[in-house]
Amino acid sequence: MAPMVLTGIMVAVTQPLPVESGFNVSAFCALKEASERALPAPVSRPVLDKTWLASLNNSIGDVVPPERHSFWNPLGKAYLTSEQEYLLKLAYRMGREDGDARHAELVQAVLMQETIAGLLGRIGHMTARVGKRSYGVMQVKVSAARDVLRHHPELGRFPADELLIARLLSDDEFNIRVGSAFLKILRKKTHSDEAALVAYNIGLRASRKVRRPQHFAYVEGVQRYVTELVRPFNRLVIEQPLTVASTGALKNTDL
């Protein structure tokens, strides 16, 4: 009986399906063909080439700093940017115009201590009110700038504090000039570099309460910059200028 049932099923499957009345097969096929032609052609997707990833991983250890990042900052564990080098040169020049080589070194070191020569931005103490904030690469307060302008009217007139703040923020040369002059004023009032640095950091009145300014944290930070960065930088970049492009990136440990 089983073979006869299987044969009957095969015969039934191979028989043509009945066509319902009113159904036009030719029209249906034509409509289907037209709709398929209207569909957009399939887009072939490119095969993702991942060979670049392996080469990138292999070359990470061989990355060298750009030639413009020429001098190593051992305290920041990074190469100085071209802007930092420019500001350090500017600070040296203005420091020498205002005083001796020691004063120039202090101006450069304060520039690094305050903003890492502009790397930390131009506005400090954002949570403080406007009159208490410090501005520019040397982090000069408005009160300090006003003190300098009284001694050096040739630096300009600023009827409103807003105008002075805008100048301190937008003009790095002016900012360094004011910072250098203020440090020199403090030096005359305190009679020592260390006490002047304390006053630059926390104000003249508060600095008088510091008994051992040479051990004040800010002063120690400035002195570290003088010893480990400023003097090697001046020897290599200012006193004996080199063409970085021809010599490659140098560390001050290579001197």
Which CATH number fits the domain that encloses residue 220?
A: 1.10.530.10
Give the pLDDT confidence score for residue 240 in this predicted structure: 76
How many domains does the chain fold into?
1
The verdict on residue 209 lying in a domain is yes
Which residues are registered as beta bridge partners of 195? none
Say if 37 falls within a structural domain: no
pLDDT of 129 reads 76
Average pLDDT rounded to a whole number, residues 131-147: 95
Burial class (CB in 10 A: 0-12, 13-18, 19+), 75: middle
Mean pLDDT over each residue of the chain, to the nearest integer? 81
23 located within any domain: no
79-93 per-position pLDDT tens digit: 999 999 999 999 999
In a domain, 11, yes or no: no
Q: What is the pLDDT averaged over residues 123-150? A: 90
Question: Where residue 185 falls among pLDDT bands split at 50, 70, 90?
Answer: very high
Residue 141 phi/psi, 5-degree rounding, is -80, 155
For residue 237, is pLDDT > 70? yes
pTM given for the model: 0.69
Tokens 């630059």 belong to 200
Residue ranges making up the domain that contains 155: 72-240
Report how far residue 177's alpha carbon sits from residue 155's, in angstroms, rounded to the nearest whole number.
9
- Measure the CA–CA gap between 12 and 23, rounded to whole angstroms: 22
With a cut of 90, say whether residue 97 has pLDDT above it: yes
Compute the average pLDDT of residues 141-157.
97
Report percent pLDDT > 70 for the chain: 67
The answer to whether residue 160 is domain-embedded is yes
